[in-house]
Structure 1
């Protein structure tokens, strides 16, 4: 069976950015920023993106392009048939299924809000509306609908499905967010939101450093799709002529830019309409905070209904761009390792996530554990495993792959990149993982 490849470099970049953008930027990022000191969180988050995210992204690219396989097949093949390393790669495939199992539930919420925006159905009582639709059989129905949209794209393949869809969705997301941000920052009272978001608060950061660090690290991995094998899978469809360092840096910049844009929409709107005390953090926290807060904001704005249609339309596109990449990981695993037809593999995985996602849609306690604690732990452990593999198993071969298709200036960075992948980054991630596990056990070190 001939393996697919990207038709263009632009297609690969937009697909990778689409995977990274998703709900991590336009749903989770503003929520996490609000609950962790605003500007203090933003500074730490940007530092982790630069120092951990970009090198980690390149490590996954190296694994994927060198192996031309999914995460499980990649680590098994590159380790000369080690079942232990194959299991590490398989852990990434499982993580993708777990991630999509809660992600598609949130995608269902967004799809419902988008449709309700045409009538303003949630304007009267935003909190009560979300409480009525968040979990239960209606949530299962919209989870299934969102998952079906995701499967329709994935079944089309790399070129005719994922690449074609993301070439439309990503420019639309960026253009609409820029337009919304340009309008939001001109609203009366928006300055307070911009100050909260952009004015550095060193006092808050010093007092809450480890809390902010943990939240920022988890958000960085989530939003860059690291630790799950997405970038391994996408890079496996690349040729040797691609400059991995250039592509990875551009993807990280675009992804981060979309997150910052989302903040420039959300915080000015919230502060201009309902004030600081009813922002995301004060809306009760949790996964529904942003829905409730923004629904209240749109209900008070002139032309709030069409604005809500545009905003939630943007989030639907962003959510789909990420869920597509999550489903592609296990689909690629079944196609590569078991020779299944793409259509059959997509149908099988869709049925599996339909069941696991429905469990999350019916049980708020399970959803909270999966969407928060479990996913953060799995992503951190997964990326640490990938980095150790690149640093200590591939070694100099990783530098060779890193340098392929790059200019001399980029090639000279290869040894320094390998050193960081071997030492600093795994230690940082394993330390973060240990702190999170101790916190889960009720033990605080700080």
Structure 2
């Protein structure tokens, strides 16, 4: 087996982890889900979930990855609990599932980047999205996006992923910041800020009854599963990505400091994206929650087509969305690539290419019909992500236990009390919160019939 790679610098690891987190989950999914599920109410639940559930869960994944120094599947065998490797398999499978349709959306971004240069979508933004979002055009761009991801992952950890994300992540933050300042100057943006930043406290309620199983009702019934899973999605949890990235980390780094940095930066970028996209929806007079997965593309294309220097702004915006999409996609492909490289000594470029081809095939239904894309996305949010995160938490909190605390404290100045508090939270409150999310998601899947594929 060849010598395993590591991150060249701590900053490289943090930026790669932030890059994995800051992707389409923040710039496409976060504004889309926020506008669909209550604006500021969604934002409040999301931020609580990111810090209260996402941070402990990320620490659990970091501990597993660094202690094992292996990929998301083999890690459990290295830690002496091979019968729990199903958790790693579920995470890898979830990441594979998500990347298949994520790549299709990445193809849309490529098309809109070109459309901004030529002004192709200015005359009919809605018609333009309808023409490129499904069919042969979407299929070809799905292939192009996957090819870009494969090229980066094939370059390796230090030369490929680390160098790419060191450029990508700062670019995302700077460009989004400039766009957020620009949006403030637009007439009609103020109601968008109110919708996004001023929660109605009456919507923050949830009640439960038992007959005989628990049944939930109230405004938060729909918000919780999507807001919590959005935290998982945007933090790249439950996909094996953070276990894999942490496996390249040295013992002298503080996992707590690194994970807190990733969560805070990721949440900040999500909010920043919301400050760009949601006010633009109001500027265009678009009803929040309307338009589905294409709302971001149609509304922004409309705005860029009607505003001065719209082509330039469109190019800049879709360039940053593309960068963000690539930074997340490379982490998901790296999860599976790492497993094969670790266990079979296969050449990285060859295996990355083969896996990219498989992901392309899985994404064909989503490229042919957006109804399939919505189905893939719904199952990921309401079932796969919370189930995968739950498995990691149960393993770390109840199976691995005290050795996880020792690993967390390695490389940091934290006292044992902090580590034990984290372990207690992971064992109890955080698991209960994920169970609630999973229950609400499954309840919705079966009640609404969303579990059935759109055949």
Superposition TM-score, scaled by structure 1 size: 0.95
1:316 aligned partner: 322
2:350 aligned partner: 344
5+ long unaligned stretches in structure 1 = none
Q: Do the aligned partners of 1:67 and 1:74 also contact (CA within 8 Å) in 2?
A: yes
Residue 77, structure 1, aligned to residue 78, structure 2: yes
Match of 2:278 among 267, 292, 295: 267
1:224 aligned partner: 235
For 1:341 and 1:3, locate their aligned partners in 2 and report how far apart those are by CA, in whole Å: 12
How far does the alpha carbon of each residue in 1:246-305 deviate from its partner, in whole angstroms, 9 at most, with x for none?
A: 000000000000011111111222323x12xx14522x2x21111111111111111111
Match of 1:438 among 436, 439, 443: 443
2:215 aligned partner: none
For 1:342 and 1:174, locate their aligned partners in 2 and report how far apart those are by CA, in whole Å: 30
For 1:374 and 1:161, locate their aligned partners in 2 and report how far apart those are by CA, in whole Å: 28
2:60 aligned partner: 59
Q: Do the aligned partners of 2:21 and 2:266 also contact (CA within 8 Å) in 1?
A: yes
Q: Alignment partner of 1:238: what SS? A: coil
Residue 117, structure 1, aligned to residue 116, structure 2: yes
Number of equivalences: 436
Runs of 4 or more above 6 Å deviation: none
Residue 415, structure 1, aligned to residue 428, structure 2: no
How far does the alpha carbon of each residue in 1:118-140 deviate from its partner, in whole angstroms, 9 at most, with x for none?
A: 01111111111111111111101
1:443 Cα deviation from its structure 2 partner: 7.5
How far does the alpha carbon of each residue in 1:70-111 deviate from its partner, in whole angstroms, 9 at most, with x for none?
A: 11101122134x2x3122211211111111101100000011
How far does the alpha carbon of each residue in 1:357-408 deviate from its partner, in whole angstroms, 9 at most, with x for none?
A: 1232113332211112245411111110011111122111000000000113
Q: Do the aligned partners of 1:280 and 1:289 also contact (CA within 8 Å) in 2?
A: no
Residue 427, structure 1, aligned to residue 432, structure 2: yes
1:356 aligned partner: 362
2:210 aligned partner: none
1:250 aligned partner: 261
After TM superposition, the structure 1 = structure 2 runs for residues 12-411 of structure 1, keeping only pairs within 5 Å, are 12-80=13-81, 82=82, 84-206=83-205, 208-272=219-283, 274-275=284-285, 278-282=286-290, 284=291, 286-409=292-415, 411=416
Q: Do the aligned partners of 2:280 and 2:299 also contact (CA within 8 Å) in 1?
A: no
1:435 Cα deviation from its structure 2 partner: 2.3
Q: Do the aligned partners of 2:230 and 2:381 also contact (CA within 8 Å) in 1?
A: no
Decide whether aligned partners of structure 1 residues 162 and 279 sit closer, same or farther in structure 2, where only a CA change above 3 A counts. farther
For 2:276 and 2:380, locate their aligned partners in 1 and report how far apart those are by CA, in whole Å: 29
For 2:436 and 2:45, locate their aligned partners in 1 and report how far apart those are by CA, in whole Å: 17
Q: Alignment partner of 1:131: what SS? A: helix
For 2:447 and 2:80, locate their aligned partners in 1 and report how far apart those are by CA, in whole Å: 38
